[in-house]
Amino acid sequence: MRIRSTMCAVALATALLATPSVAQVVDFGKYPDLKGQWSRPFEGSPNNWIRLGGQPPLTPEYQKIWDGIKADLEAGGPGNWPSTFCVHQGMPAMMSIYSPAEFIVMPDVTWVLINHNDDMYRRIFTDGRPWPEDAEPTFAGYSIGKWVDEDGDGKYDVLEVETRFLKNPRGYDTTGIPFHSDGKTVIKERIYLDKADRNILWNEITVIDNALTRPFPRNSAPTAIPILVRPGNTKCARSTTLMCASARKTIISALMAS
């Protein structure tokens, strides 16, 4: 569900374009329209990795760890969910959009702003940069993306993203599926608007991790629930207004430091 917050999006874009580092003529018409506030449909639980991806293909060592996590949950314990303690749930869980999100698309970077656990955000760099040799691990990781024109019409259809340098603890969802302790997780995404309904946004996510015996995709085929949807006429909540103000400050500070 997307709640249109045009004023917020325009204010953010205006602030970004006003900074010297991005002062340029930009043809935004070639990018998909991701403006506004996105949230999950009410009938769609964000705790959906097993429902959409099946049972995790864990190694015997990490299957045993997960069995212990599930036993703790059944006994009333916190299990393995960082958000229980107001800790950033990290990637890939944050992209299940437990709270409203907004995408700010610029030529060199796409921002994902999420109103949950102290206004989390991601930067997806699309400026063609190489991977850094050594980046500080974070819960959201370091993301490099590439816009793809799949049908050759001169407009971008898909944002392909790879994320590395991820910090533990993180989650898939509240079931507590564990990640390997070596911190070498790689997450790949394909983010795109539904061709039939431009108010539906899909995100195909695949996790590559040494706790798994193979890559673990979350199935977001059209037979599954959409990742995000948006209606057109609902007013922005006060929490979203606060998110926009916080995000604007974060983005400007980051650009000024770059």
User: Half-sphere exposure of residue 50, counting CA atoms within 13 Å on the CB side?
Assistant: 10
pLDDT along the chain (258 residues), means of 10: 46 51 73 86 72 93 96 91 81 85 93 75 96 93 97 95 95 93 96 88 94 88 43 40 43 44
Q: Would you state the pLDDT for residue 231?
A: 45
Distance in angstroms (rounded) separating the CA atoms of residues 218 and 222 = 12
Q: Are 22 and 105 in contact (CB under 8 A)?
A: no
DSSP 8-class letter at 28: G
pTM for this predicted structure? 0.77
CB 96 within 8 A of CB 46: yes
Q: What is residue 48's predicted lDDT score, i.e. its pLDDT?
A: 81
pLDDT of 249: 45
> Token pair of 201, please?
């946004």
Alpha-carbon Rg for the chain, nearest whole angstrom, is: 18
Are 38 and 100 spatial neighbours (Cβ–Cβ below 8 Å)? yes
* Gap between the Cα atoms of 242 and 240, Å rounded: 5
Report pLDDT for 16.
Answer: 52
Write down the pLDDT at residue 166: 96
Residue 168 C-beta-side C-alpha neighbours within 13 Å: 13
Kindly report, residue by residue over 5-20, the tens digit of the pLDDT.
Answer: 444 444 455 555 555 5
Residue 81: per-residue pLDDT = 85
Q: What is the DSSP string of 176-203?
A: -PPPPTT---EEEEEEEE-SS-TTEEEE
* Encoded tokens for 98: 């437990």
Report domain extents, the chain.
2-257
Place of tokens 């695949």: 206
**pLDDT at residue 42, as a whole number:** 58
Give ∠ CA 127-170-227 in degrees, rounded to 5.
65
CA distance to 2, 89, 157, 217, 232, per residue, from 44 (Å): 14, 19, 25, 18, 19
Residue 117's pLDDT is 62
pLDDT single digits (tens) 83-129: 787 777 889 998 888 777 889 999 999 999 887 665 578 999 999 99
Bin 18: left if φ > 0, else alpha if -120 < ψ < 50, else beta: alpha
